[in-house]
Amino acid sequence: MSSLQAIWLAVLSQRAWQLLNMATSSEAPLSKTPKLRGRRRDPQVREAILKTLIEQIQTLGYSKVTIDGLAKAAKVGRMTIYRWWKTKADIALEAADLVAESAAPFTEQESLELTLQSLLSKTFAALQETGALYAALMSESQSDPDFAALFYERFVAKRRQGLEALFRQAQVRGEIADTVNPYLLVDLVYGPMWYRLLLRHAPLDENYARALTQIVMRAAK
C-alpha cells in the first residue's frame, strides 16, 4: 500500500465509523453528495484524472495546474473534465475523497494513547506526499465561501466526527475525564497538524506525532 493510500488509515477506519454511529456529535448534519454532472462517469477514467491531479499539485503546485494540462497528462478530453466538474477546486476535493476511499481500516490499539499515536504517525508520514493537495484545498476555502462550506461538509466534518467518536468512546471507558470536551480534543489534534502543514516551519514527523499525542493525553486527564 502506498503512502497516498495510508493517509486516512486512521481517520476513515471502519471502527471509527462504527463509533460515529454511537456518538452524539456537535457538528452540523452532513449534506448529501451533489449529483454528478453530465453522462455516467467511467470509474477508471475518473480515477486517472484524480490521481493525475494529485501528482500535478505535488510537482507543479496548485496554482500552475490547468484543466488543459490535466486533460493532456491524464490522456482524456478536456470536455470530459468539464462535464464532470465545475472547477479545479471541485476536482481537488474529489481527489481528496479518492484517497479516503482507498484507505484500509487501521488497527485499534489497547489504549487511546497508542491508537492516537499510530493515527498521527501514519498520517504525518503520508502527508509528505499528499500535503500539497490538502494545503490547496484549505487555501481555496479561504477565498471562496461556497467552496469553504462544501469542503467542510464533504471532507472536514466527516473526519472530525470520526475522531470525536473515538474520544467519546474512550471517555466512556474512563480514559478521558468526564469534564473534558471531546470536541476540543479534536481541535487540539487537527489544529497543530494544519498549522505545520500550511506554514511548513517545522516537520510533521514521528517525533511530532509522539509529542502531540502526549500533549493531547495530558489535556484529556
State how far the Cα of 195 lies from the Cα of 125, in Å rounded to an integer. Answer: 16
pLDDT-derived band at 12 (thresholds 50, 70, 90) equals: very low
Question: The whole model's pTM is what?
Answer: 0.73
Residue with cell 454511529: 21
State how far the Cα of 22 lies from the Cα of 219, in Å rounded to an integer. Answer: 23
The predicted-structure confidence for 124-181, as pLDDT tens digits, reads as follows: 888 888 888 989 999 889 988 988 999 999 889 988 998 999 999 999 999 999 999 9
Spatial contact of 50 and 76, defined as CB atoms under 8 Å apart: no
For helices 112-143 and 206-220, give the axis angle rounded to 10 degrees. 100
14 by Cβ neighbours in 10 Å (0-12 / 13-18 / 19+) ranks as exposed
